[in-house]
Amino acid sequence: MRYRRLDLNLLVALDVLLEECSVSRAAQRLNLGQSATSAALGRLREHFQDPLLVPLGRGLEPSALARQLAPKVREVLSLAGELVETTTGFDPARCERRFVLVASDYVAATLVPALSRNLARLAPGAALVVRDLPLPRDGDVVAEALDYRRSDLVIVPQARINPRYPHALLLKDELCCIVCAREPAYHQGLNLADYCCAGHVVREFTDGQNLSLDTQHLRETGIERRVEVAVQSFALMAEFVVGTPRIATLFRRQAEALARRYPLQVLPSPVAFPLASQVLQWHPQQAADPALAWLRQLLAEQAQALDQG
């Protein structure tokens, strides 16, 4: 169907192309050949008189106009989806949707696997994509995930919520420390002097930024620690703690899970870190989407079960 000289089917292709920033990956999601997807991009470029995707290094990134178009395209498709669901109703058993969830690897490890199992049981035709928290262009992780990356849901620490988007509290956890269980220096516990003198394993983004709760709190309180190893995943910390006197600071749920798989000791942190809350956020334009409302409820129920367990 054409509207003002544009084939509206191309809006679906545009949404996927801007999300993937790759013709080949977009072709896979659209179930089209790469040549057909390239042709769709060519028609979109011709209509908007803009390249839409421009080369950056070995990949592509959205042009300035594409960034303006992305939330509008998302809104149009969201409204169309609501219209379709309103007429048919939402039945998880018949759902064939691809849900995109953005969360830290801590949340992905502690909450999302159970969510995935429930999806397999209740909505076997649905697909779940789990992506790490993006490095924001302007410090706003939520807008980066929901507007620019066009994800369905994002889970962030409470300190990073964006009040312009609806939100719901999911999880609370405390920060603690892991040390090698064979390290005699920590058999009597861990004090602040030990914490400051020891080498530390920390989590960083690929560009070297460290936005974790423990790093921010230590900066605010003026406590310095000596970083010996920086990794991109909380789950990797154990590998660089075992067999050394190093310390890693992470959330208790993940620390205890790692201690079941590695020779680690979980110790209370000598630093009074604030309790950490994880918050679910979604785009206001998708607040009435019945499929996402169902998924949000499923997440909330799983988080509640995790808290009670």
Rounded Cα distance between 243 and 11, Å, is: 54
pLDDT at position 194: 92
Structure tokens at 21: 């920033």
Please give the pLDDT value at position 7.
66
Mean pLDDT by 10 residues, the chain (309 residues): 61 82 84 84 84 82 85 74 61 92 91 94 95 77 82 91 92 95 91 94 71 85 93 91 96 94 96 93 87 94 83
Residue 113 three-state SS? helix
Q: Residue 131, SS3? A: strand
Residue 308 sits at φ, ψ, to 5 deg, of: -75, -25
Q: Which residues touch 6 (CB under 8 Å, ≥6 apart)?
A: 47
Tell me the CA distances in angstroms from 118 to 44, 112, 253, 293, one per residue in order. Answer: 38, 10, 20, 15
Q: Would you state the structure tokens that stand for residue 116, as one six-digit string?
A: 């995935």
Both structure tokens of 213 = 């709760």
> In this structure, what are the phi and psi dihedrals at residue 53, rounded to the nearest 5 degrees?
-120, 125
Residue 223: is it exposed, middle or buried by C-beta count within 10 angstroms (0-12/13-18/19+)?
middle
pLDDT at res. 288? 81
* CA dist., res. 286 & res. 84, Å (int): 14
Q: Whose CA is closest to 99, among 301, 306, 277, 286?
A: 286
Distances in whole angstroms, Cα of residue 203 to Cα of each of 177, 238, 264? 13, 12, 18
Q: What is the pTM of this model?
A: 0.70
Structural domains for the chain = 1-89 (1.10.10.10), 175-274 (3.40.190.10)
> Tokens 């803009």 identify what position?
50
